[in-house]
Amino acid sequence: MRIRRALIAFSVVSALPAAAWPAQTAVAEEGLRPVRVVRSLTGVHEWYVQTYAGYPVLGSYYTRHLDLAGNVVRIDDGRLAVRSLFVTVPRVAAAAARYAAGAPRADAEVVVVAGAPARLAWAVYRGNGTRTLVDAASGNVISRTDLRRFATGQGRVFDPSPVVTLRDETLTDQGDRDYPALQPAYIIRPLTRLDGSGFLKGEFADVKGTTSRASSESLEFLYDRSDPRFEQTMAYYNVTTAQEYIQSLGFTDVNNEPQDMKVDQFGGDNSFFYPKQDFIKLGKGGVDDAEDAEVTWHEYGHAIQESQVPGFGEGHDAGSIGEGFSDYWAATMSEPVSGGFDVPCIADWDSTSYTSAVPHCLRRTDLELTMADQTGRIHHDGQIWSRALWDIHRTLGRTTADTIILEAQFFFEPDTSFADAAGDTVFAAELLYGSAVAVQVRSAFEDRAIL
CATH number of 151-308: 3.10.170.10
In this prediction, residue 143 carries a pLDDT of: 94
Percent of the chain with pLDDT over 90: 81
- Please determine, for residue 142, whether its predicted confidence score (pLDDT) is greater than 80: yes
In this prediction, residue 11 carries a pLDDT of: 36
The model's confidence at residue 267, banded by pLDDT at 50, 70 and 90, is low
Q: Tens digit of pLDDT for each residue in 33-88?
A: 999 888 888 888 999 999 999 999 999 999 999 999 999 999 999 999 998 888 89
Contact 200, 212 (CB under 8 A): no
Where are the domains positioned within the chain? 18-78, 94-146, 151-308
How far does CA 5 lie from the centroid of its chain? 31
Beta strand pairing call for 43-52 and 55-56: antiparallel
Q: Tens digit of pLDDT for each residue in 290-307?
A: 999 999 999 999 999 999
Q: Share the mean pLDDT of the chain.
A: 91
- Please determine, for residue 409, whether its predicted confidence score (pLDDT) is greater than 60: yes
The model's confidence at residue 265, banded by pLDDT at 50, 70 and 90, is confident
Rounded mean pLDDT, 10-22: 39
- Of 412, 421, 414, 415, which is closest to residue 442 (Cα–Cα)? 421
In this prediction, residue 14 carries a pLDDT of: 37
Domains 18-78 and 151-308 share a fold: no
> Where do runs of H (alpha helix) occur along 260-314?
293-308
**SS3 state of residue 439:** helix
In this prediction, residue 2 carries a pLDDT of: 32
φ and ψ of 285, to 5 deg: -75, 140
Dihedral, CA atoms, 98, 102, 106, 110, nearest 10 degrees? -40
In this prediction, residue 268 carries a pLDDT of: 66
Beta strand pairing call for 279-282 and 259-263: parallel
Contact 200, 387 (CB under 8 A): no
**SS3 state of residue 322:** helix
- Please determine, for residue 28, whether its predicted confidence score (pLDDT) is greater than 70: no
Contact 145, 211 (CB under 8 A): no
Q: Tens digit of pLDDT for each residue in 321-373?
A: 999 999 999 999 999 999 999 999 999 999 999 999 999 999 999 999 999 99
- Which segment of 97-111, 150-164, 266-280, 395-409 scores lowest on mean pLDDT? 266-280
Please give the full DSSP string across 325-357, using - where no structure is assigned. HHHHHHHHHHHHHHTTS-TTEE-TTGGGGT--S
CATH architecture assignment, domain 18-78: Roll (3.10)
> Where do runs of H (alpha helix) occur along 342-397?
378-396
The model's confidence at residue 29, banded by pLDDT at 50, 70 and 90, is low
